[in-house]
Amino acid sequence: MASKWIDERDNSFLLHEVFEIGKDILGKSPYADHDADMVNMVLNEAAKLAENEIAPTYPDEIHKKPVEAVFKDGKVFVPESYHRLWQLYSEGGWMCTSDEYEYGGQQLPAVVSAVTAQMFLSCNQAFVMYPGLTHGAARLLIDFFEHPLKKIIIEKMFTGQWAGTMCLTEPGAGSDVGALKTTAKRNPDGTFSITGTKSFISSGDHDLTENIIHPVLARIEGDPAGTGGISIFVVPKIRINDDGSLGEPNDVTCGNIESKMGIHGNATCTLNFGDKGNCVGYLMGQEREGMKIMFHMMNEERQGVGMMGVALATAGYRHAVVYAQERLQGANIMAGKDPNAPQVPIIQHADVRRMLLKQKSITEGIRALTLLCYFCMDKKMVAETEDDKTKWTDLVDILTPLVKAYCTDMGMVVNDLAVQTFGGYGYCREYPVEQMMRDQKINCIYEGTNGIQALDLLGRKLPMKKGMVFVSLLGLMQEYIAEAKAVESLSAEAAVVEAAINACAGTAMEYAGMLKKNPFVPLLGAYDFMHCLSDAITGALHLKMAVTATRALESASLDKEKHFYTGKIEGARFFINRTTAVVPARCETIKQDEISAVRIPDEAFIV
């Protein structure tokens, strides 16, 4: 029976058949030690952990209720089932699958590590956020922390003995990071005294580990206002002795945890630093480089959040398919008004099939988009020239806001349709699709809201290197289109995608001119443009998948494989002809001088 949680076959298809990592990535430095068999073994073990250990904790199958973190007597306690998961996750080496050997990592390609994370996230996002943030914080230390304790801290984080967070947001500041009030005062020994409050800190406090390492943004006394005056500090929950043993508490306390719409098992904390004037932090990198350094982790987290969008969409869709195959209701339409016609599974009804194929085509499209981003990271790592390294790095940069925003927005569409497929049962806690939908919503919000990602695309990413990075991205899509044009059965879809890509290119050029003359049009259209571009790129990725599937179908002998490849082709046609096809018209619309959202007085929104 097919898994309701993870899609092993599509992951394998993307890695080995579409992106061909065996040809382009594996066996090359720094991945010289790995081959396809090794990758498949890793994916198989990840699938077992996901399906057999993580999935049963989402939700609690015994009590049939969401599993929640609890704040009691100033301490945070995670769900009891998470302790076993943390141990299994840590002992299995999943914390550092793609990290360097010298830090205890397995040095696997980033795209392989992303697939394992996707499987885990499909089964319980709230839990996986604890090791995910630990990994992100450890990566910052590897790249930017120069201190005698560096290797000790990283080793303890990668083995799961200690955990990590990201402390950026403050009460009242929200996305305006430059308005932070947390301060750092110099101490004679070179450390800093940290004072301030951070809010909405995921995994901010818990009882999974004996210590938690907090990267904290703060302003050194006397440094200028705004983001340019921010530095970043390593602040442990418990002080660390020179030999790596734990000292006294470091005046880091949890004020409360948020009562949230979803991800109940993850503790979203308000953290207070230095209430007693006794919180010590270590400078990371150079002074006033805090934002630049934090964005290294932020971009990693944004890519990871995009993967969260894919993961929850995967689980929601697969639960919906299994339910639709089993739920009997109504007769087949071909039976007409025959009162004796037997009931059939709802998957035979046209509107349910529409919902399911929409879920399938979106989920597989956004999975390809996220893995393209990670594949570009690996292409950079194996590149032999600086020009090639730059090319792939730039592609990661421009893809990141699309991965974060589009994949979570469209993941939300999938989870909404999954609930709709279940009907009234989908709205009840008897089935987990309602929890998946609630959990998915946070992915559209944190690590920079999706509106901010659209503005980042418009204001920073499109103009990179005078637009040449954008041109490079579109050039890669044109390669996929050219491949599809050579396949007669896909030539019509190739023309649709090409028209969408060209429409996005033209809109970007016009927006560039408008930003100087009438900025409100592109600013109001940024979010819609981000979706247009993503719909076009996802259409191109569907083309590439359909080309691969068409060729593979010719030699497939097993019915299961024939069904898989046929599903890829029909899913591509559905997405391209129903979503990518409307991109040119939408681009024309968002270029119009329609700025009612600017003209309307504040007082007119609600009277």
CA distance to 125, 219, 296, 569, per residue, from 203 (Å): 12, 23, 19, 41
Which residues lie below 8 Å from residue 403, measured CB to CB, with a gap of 6+?
A: 302, 303, 306, 307, 369, 370, 373
Encoded tokens for 231? 């530095």
Q: End-to-end CA distance of the chain: give it in Å, rounded.
A: 56
508/467 Cα distance (integer angstroms): 9
In sequence order, what are the residues at sequence separation of 6 or more whose Cβ sits closer than 8 angstroms to the Cβ of residue 516?
Answer: none
Contact 461, 397 (CB under 8 A): yes
Measured distance CA(396)–CA(375) in Å, rounded: 9
User: Which position among 434, 447, 493, 498 bears the catalytic label?
Assistant: 447
Token pair listed for 492: 């019509």
User: Among this protein's residues, is 287 annotated catalytic?
Assistant: no
Collapsing DSSP to helix, strand or coil, 221 comes out as: coil
Query: Cα separation of 145 and 362, whole Å?
Result: 40
How many C-beta neighbours within 10 Å does residue 56 have? 15
Pairing mode, strands 75-77 and 211-220:
unpaired
* CA 3 to chain centroid: 22
What SS3 state is found at 20? coil
Q: Of 517, 385, 439, 504, give the one whose Cα is nearest residue 264.
A: 439
Q: What SS3 state is found at 283?
A: strand
Please give the C-alpha separations between residue 347 and each of 7, 321, 339, 537, 561, in angstroms, as whole numbers. Answer: 19, 8, 20, 30, 21
- CB atoms < 10 A from the CB of 560, how many? 8
- Strand 211-220 with 252-257, pairing: unpaired
Q: Residue 461 contacts by C-beta under 8 Å, 6 or more apart in sequence?
A: 397, 398, 401, 469, 470
Report, as residue numbers or ranges, the catalytic residues.
447
